[in-house]
Structures are given as structure tokens and as C-alpha cells.
A and B are shown apart, each in its own frame.
Chain A
Amino acid sequence: MSILINKDTRLVVQGVTGSQGLFHTKRMLDYGTNVVGGTRPGKGGEWVLDGKVPVFDTVKIAVQATGANTSVIFVPAAYAPDAILEAADADIKLIICLTEHIPVQDMMRVRKYLDPMGARLVGPNCPGILTPGVSSVGIIPSNIAIPGNVGVVSRSGTLTYEVLYALKELGIGSSTCVGIGGDPINGTNFIDCLQLFEDDPQTDKVVMIGEIGGTDEEKAATFIRENMTKPVFGFIAGKTAPPGKRMGHAGAIVEGGEGTAEEKIKALNAAGVPVASNPEEIAEMIAK
């Protein structure tokens, strides 16, 4: 078992003919992910990666031809909102958007459109999802994680890799790792993932990696206190970040005294979540 992606995942890659799309589609195929097709308007009927992946003009046609149930988006920010809506309208139930720099008003409109449709969006501005040994959707380096019982959910990309790597060094594997992305408005949030891990029989412990900005970690802390029976371990990046400065991610900014690392750590501790002071310490905490 795992969450969100597994051996039944039938993946369509939106933007499969671009350089990033091609490169990572090959990696996903090599990992054993069931990539059933890709899309690129105007190139329907062609094949990429030595005839392994058929290209379709639209997601709708791809779904009809292949029965795809999951999509991953590799298209530039200006076209990504359209790509998300296209996937949802083609009845894709899990949409993973890697694209960064999508305007925030676009994301507000996209979320409002998506919410009543029952489609789940992961991202944008995220590294994707990895279920070690089974399926990889996105760009998380697959050789840094091994199968196991720790669920990982994170707002960051490479910081997540750091934690997966530290876990692996201690021989600890993960059930699924979900990158939810560093934007202020995203799809799936911490609470959604915590609930999925709580319900997943393969997951025994959960690691939650947050960062400064917004109040999602505080809300997650309340959820953990009230609903989680499985132990959760936390890490918050940005203790030394100055207020008012956007630390790379569009969502990582301390504004009007809100969203500081200190407040988040306090909230998590109050919910019984131990918070590590660096990524390697998380692995040590879990090993105990």
C-alpha cells in the first residue's frame, strides 16, 4: 500500500515533448512507472522515447485512448493553469503540477474551478510524488529512497531529498513521499496528506517538512492533535530568514509577523510533534 500513486497509476505526461518532459519521462519509465502517453498539441500521432510513449493532441484524446487516470504537468507557467483545467475536464482525478512561477490569481481561479469536480491537484511548484520501489511521478531522484513505513510530506524540493537521503543512510524507507509545493495557493495540503497517511496501513510514522510563510503548518498541528494516532515528526526551514523577504519560494515569506518558524514549531510542539533542528536529526529521531 501507499498513498496517491501505486501500480494502478496510469500516467499521462502533459508537455512530454519538451526537454524537461522528455528527460523525466524516461526516468519515470526506467523506474517502472506506468506512463501510458503524453500530450503536445499539434504532435498527436507521433511517438517519443524510441516508440515507448505515444503522443496525443489533448488530454481528452489521451484518456480515451489509454485510460489514463493521473497526469503530470511539465508545461511553462503561462500555460500551466490551462493544462490543469484541461486535465480536470478530461476526468483525470489526480493532477500533479510541477511548474513554478504560476501567477497567484490564476491559482485562485483554478482551485475554485477544481474544488467541486473532485479532482485532486498536487502542487504547483512541487517535485512530485514517489512511492519507492513502485512508482515515481515527477522529479524526485528515485535512488535516494527505499521502500518502508515512513510517510513524507513536504513543501520543499531538495530539502525533501535531503530528508529521504538521511533516512536511507539509516536504513529507513518510506511508504510514499509527497511534495506539495512552495506556492501560497496550492492543491493538496499538509492536512490532506496527513489524513491519507493516517488511513494507509503501510505507513506507521509521518515526517512533515514545512517552511516559513502562511499558516498551513499551524492548521496541520491542530489536525494532528485532534485526528492523528500515528506519530508525526516535523522540520521547519527558515528560522534565520529575515521578515518581509521572499525566500525563493513564492509562499516562503514572513508577513506582518505571521508565518515565522518560531510560531510553527511552537504549534507543532504543542500538538506533541517533536521538531528536529536540522534534516539529519529527523532521521535520528525516527530511528530511535
Chain B
Amino acid sequence: MKLHEYQSKRIFAKFGVPIPKGEVATTPEEAKKIAQDLGGSVVVKSQVLVGGRGKAGGIKLAKSPDEAEKYAKEILDLEIKGLPVNLVLIDEAAEINNEIYLGITNDRGARMPVFMASAAGGVDIEEVAATTPEKIIKVHIHPLMGLQNYQVLDLAAGISLPRALWKEFDVIAKGLWEAYKNNDATLAEINPLIITADNHLKAVDGKMVIDDNALFRQKELNEQRDLTGENEAELKAKESDLTFIKLDGDIGCMVNGAGLAMATMDILDQYGGSPANFLDIGGGADEEQVAAALRIILEDENVKAVLFNIFGGITRGDQVAKGIVAALKEIKTDIPMVVRLVGTNSEEGREILAETKMITAKTLSEAAKKSVAAAKGEL
């Protein structure tokens, strides 16, 4: 789960990281009022959960409250990479002498969090990593010991930070680590951390991604979730404990298990077809979940055929079959359907499905070929 810039920075501030004074607004009038309260120049920043806001015109410097109002209106009317802007952050403007990058993420290979710092901040860090990786200093953090003093020094010295700022840097680095750890983040990033004209450090932009698996204990964050831009079908699937991802093809897929679901998509591609979705009904799905899954698949107007590939284990073939029959009673459709049931209670499942007009297949290859033909209207 991604957090907005303002949410991330507020969390950082709780852990002692200095951030600019600021407030969020949903209307140009609110934006003006906030700018008046802050006094002086402000930055009007769109709050959307995608990168590249600056390039899209979603960040503007306003010299007066009236200008802040004007820019807020412009930005709130924007659509950035398909996402509407519902919220702007009005921050006091800062004079920037230097920009630094700081970020913590999980290093999967090392099985440890990695703290990264670079004197080349303010720009796309992936670009820096690709072109000049030597400009990024990396320190791995022992997950049981936490960030150590000497590691903070390694980072500060590594990016040639002026010694006068080391004390402030220590507070910020440790604050970022605590924010990362205590919120179950998979990414906590300050880009840029600026050196101000009066020689202090300040986090002017922030980003956090929270581990979805930890939301059960991060309830406060979960409640702040912004669903703008999330696919409606994907959200509906989540409510039924299904994992659904919309794709561009025309063959709807219902599979149990993530690996098998991917392999099913791949084999459709191999035989010249194109999957309309990734859909994992999980282990032990019941009739209701299967019916919900089928409804979600059929809501996609691109779908010209549906493939069910169910390998019974915990999931039982008869329950899947009952779910399909129940859903088909409710939704009248002429879309051809290919079904392959193997494993636990698959015989019983096939008997239940005999009353429907479904096309059956024994092997995965056969099921894929038949689905591709069905989608082309050749079956």
C-alpha cells in the first residue's frame, strides 16, 4: 500500500525528521487560506499515488496566496497518468542549497533492509543507480540490531556531507529507520533531503510503501488508504478474498494458485491467445467465491472465452463446479467456457458440470488450445 507524500512526511516528522510547515487542501479556497497562514512563498503539490508529478505540471511554486489559489485550481483539474488529483499539499517554500537522497528498502537477496544515501538527490534515483551506481552509498541494517551509530557516519561521510550537519543527519537517519521499522514499510524515502540556505537539513519530499501483509497490525494506516485509481474489479475481488489483476487480452481465466495462474496465462500466449486477467481463487475456495470470480470475469467486455483450470488440493472440484453452475443460473451468457478439473473431487465436479454446455479438456495444453479457438469463434 502506497502512502501519499503528506502522509509519509507526517510519519517522518513523528520520528524527529524536520519537514516544511504545510497543510492539505481539497479546494483552491482552502489552498489560499493555508498559503495566507503560512505567509510568503508556498509550493502547491498534487497528492497522487504515481511518480512524475513535477513533469506533469503537478508541482508549482506560488509567490502569493492568490497565486496559490490559481495553481491549486489548475492542479486539482489535472489528471496525472490517468489519476484525478483530489488533494494538494501546500508547503512553505524552502531555499535549496543542495539536494540529498535517503531511502530504506528491503534487499531481498541480502534478506536485510538496505539504507541508501546519495549526494545526487532530487532526481530519479533509479536513473542514478543505472548510470552512476558509485554515487549511491549502501549500508545493510541488521534486522535485530537496528541502525547503528557508525553506519550513520558511514552514510554521512560517504556522501561527503559537511561535518556541521552530521548531528542533524544522525537524527534524520535514525528517524527514517524508526519510521520504516515501526510502520512495516517496504520503502521509506526522502528525496530530496535539502540543505537549506541557512544550513539546516529538511525533508521536502517523502514516500512510503507499507507491506500489505502487515496491515492487520497497521490499522491506522489501513484506514487512510486512498483507493483512487485502483481498479474496481480488483477491489471487488479483494472483498471476496480473490486475487485479480486486469490484463488486456480476451480470454478470462479462473485458476487456483498464483504459480499455476501465471503458467495458465503463459500457455494461452504460447498457443496464440491472450489472457484477459490473472485470477487466483486461492486454496479452499467455496461456491460463493467461485461465483463472485466468474461475475468479475464476465463484467469485462473484452472477454470472448473463459478458461477454468482447477487443480484440486485443498480446493475441491465439486465445490468449484457448484459455484460455476450457481453463477451461470444468475448470469445469462453465450460466452464459450472451457473447463479442466483435476485432483480432489474432480470426478464429482465433472458430473455436476455435465448439465452445462461447457467444453471440457483433460490436459492443460488441450484446455489452452480449445480456449484460444473458442475466443476466435472457431469452436
B270 at the interface (CB under 8 A from A): yes
Dominant SS among interface residues on chain B: mixed
Q: Which of A207-231 contact B (CB under 8 A)?
A: 209, 211-212, 214-215, 219
Contact A158 B259 (CB under 8 A): yes
Chain B residues, CB < 8 A from A160: 259
Interface 1/0s, chain B 266-299, versus A by CB < 8 A? 1111100001001010010000000000000000
B314 at the interface (CB under 8 A from A): yes
**Chain B CB within 10 Å, residue with most, of A77, A112, A140:** A112
Chain B residues, CB < 8 A from A215: 108-109
Contact B275 A240 (CB under 8 A): yes
Q: Which of A20-79 contact B (CB under 8 A)?
A: 20, 77-78
Interface 1/0s, chain A 134-160, versus B by CB < 8 A? 000001110010000000001111111
In the complex with contacts A77-B213, A157-B257, A248-B263 CB distance below 8 A: no
B79 at the interface (CB under 8 A from A): no
Contact A245 B111 (CB under 8 A): no
A285 at the interface (CB under 8 A from B): no
Once the chains are docked, how many angstroms separate the CA of A240 from the CA of B283? Answer: 23
Q: Which of B352-378 contact A (CB under 8 A)?
A: 363-365, 368
Contact B108 A214 (CB under 8 A): yes
Contact A103 B213 (CB under 8 A): yes
B342 at the interface (CB under 8 A from A): yes
A120 at the interface (CB under 8 A from B): no
A162 at the interface (CB under 8 A from B): yes
- Minimum CB–CB distance for B52 against chain A, Å: 14
B325 at the interface (CB under 8 A from A): no
A109 at the interface (CB under 8 A from B): yes
Contact B257 A108 (CB under 8 A): no
Contact B184 A105 (CB under 8 A): yes
In the complex with contacts A237-B266, A248-B280, A278-B266, A184-B108 CB distance below 8 A: yes
Once the chains are docked, how many angstroms separate the CA of A235 from the CA of B266? Answer: 11
Point out the residue from A101, A161, A245, A256 that lies within 8 Å of B311, measured CB to CB: A161
A90 at the interface (CB under 8 A from B): no
Once the chains are docked, how many angstroms separate the CA of A139 from the CA of B282? Answer: 14
B261 at the interface (CB under 8 A from A): yes
Point out the residue from B213, B255, B256, B269 that lies within 8 Å of A104, measured CB to CB: B213
Contact A113 B144 (CB under 8 A): yes
Chain B residues, CB < 8 A from A113: 144
Contact A279 B364 (CB under 8 A): yes
A242 at the interface (CB under 8 A from B): yes
A233 at the interface (CB under 8 A from B): no
Interface 1/0s, chain B 235-258, versus A by CB < 8 A? 000000001010100000001111
Contact B184 A162 (CB under 8 A): no
Contact A158 B260 (CB under 8 A): yes
Q: Which of A93-126 contact B (CB under 8 A)?
A: 101-109, 111-113
A133 at the interface (CB under 8 A from B): no
Residue in B closest to A111 when the chains form the complex, CB atoms: B111
Residue in A closest to B284 when the chains form the complex, CB atoms: A20
Contact A112 B142 (CB under 8 A): yes
A247 at the interface (CB under 8 A from B): yes
In the complex with contacts A101-B213, A105-B184, A185-B108, A158-B257 CB distance below 8 A: yes
Interface 1/0s, chain A 149-187, versus B by CB < 8 A? 000001111111110010000000000000000101100
Chain A residues, CB < 8 A from B343: 141, 144, 161, 165
A-B contact count (CB 8 A): 166
- Minimum CB–CB distance for A253 against chain B, Å: 10
In the complex with contacts A159-B259, A256-B126, A280-B365, A241-B312 CB distance below 8 A: no
Contact A209 B313 (CB under 8 A): no
Once the chains are docked, how many angstroms separate the CA of A151 from the CA of B271? Answer: 29
Q: Which of B160-213 contact A (CB under 8 A)?
A: 181, 184, 186, 211-213
A277 at the interface (CB under 8 A from B): yes
A252 at the interface (CB under 8 A from B): yes
**Chain A CB within 10 Å, residue with most, of B255, B261, B283:** B261
B217 at the interface (CB under 8 A from A): yes
A249 at the interface (CB under 8 A from B): yes
Contact B257 A240 (CB under 8 A): no
Point out the residue from B112, B142, B283, B342 that lies within 8 Å of A165, measured CB to CB: B342
Point out the residue from B212, B266, B311 that lies within 8 Å of A158, measured CB to CB: B311
B18 at the interface (CB under 8 A from A): no
B307 at the interface (CB under 8 A from A): no
Residue in B closest to A235 when the chains form the complex, CB atoms: B263
Point out the residue from B214, B216, B259, B311 that lies within 8 Å of A182, measured CB to CB: B259
Once the chains are docked, how many angstroms separate the CA of A25 from the CA of B126? Answer: 48
Contact B311 A237 (CB under 8 A): no
A274 at the interface (CB under 8 A from B): no
Contact B278 A247 (CB under 8 A): yes
Contact B263 A278 (CB under 8 A): yes
- Minimum CB–CB distance for B142 against chain A, Å: 7
Point out the residue from B144, B243, B265 that lies within 8 Å of A240, measured CB to CB: B265
B113 at the interface (CB under 8 A from A): yes
Contact B213 A247 (CB under 8 A): no
Residue in B closest to A159 when the chains form the complex, CB atoms: B259
Chain B residues, CB < 8 A from A267: none
Contact B259 A105 (CB under 8 A): no
A239 at the interface (CB under 8 A from B): yes
- Minimum CB–CB distance for A145 against chain B, Å: 12
Contact A112 B259 (CB under 8 A): no
Chain B residues, CB < 8 A from A144: 343
Residue in B closest to A105 when the chains form the complex, CB atoms: B184
Once the chains are docked, how many angstroms separate the CA of A241 from the CA of B368? Answer: 17
20 pairs of residues in contact across A and B, judged by CB atoms under 8 Å: A103-B214, A105-B113, A105-B211, A111-B111, A141-B313, A141-B344, A158-B255, A158-B256, A159-B260, A159-B262, A165-B311, A215-B109, A237-B262, A237-B263, A240-B262, A242-B247, A247-B278, A252-B262, A277-B266, A278-B266
9 tightest A-B CB contacts, nearest first: A156-B259, A248-B258, A158-B257, A159-B259, A103-B214, A237-B262, A158-B260, A108-B143, A238-B262
- Beyond A112-B112, A248-B261, A250-B213, 7 additional contacts (C-beta under 8 Å) are A154-B259, A156-B259, A158-B255, A212-B262, A237-B263, A247-B261, A247-B278
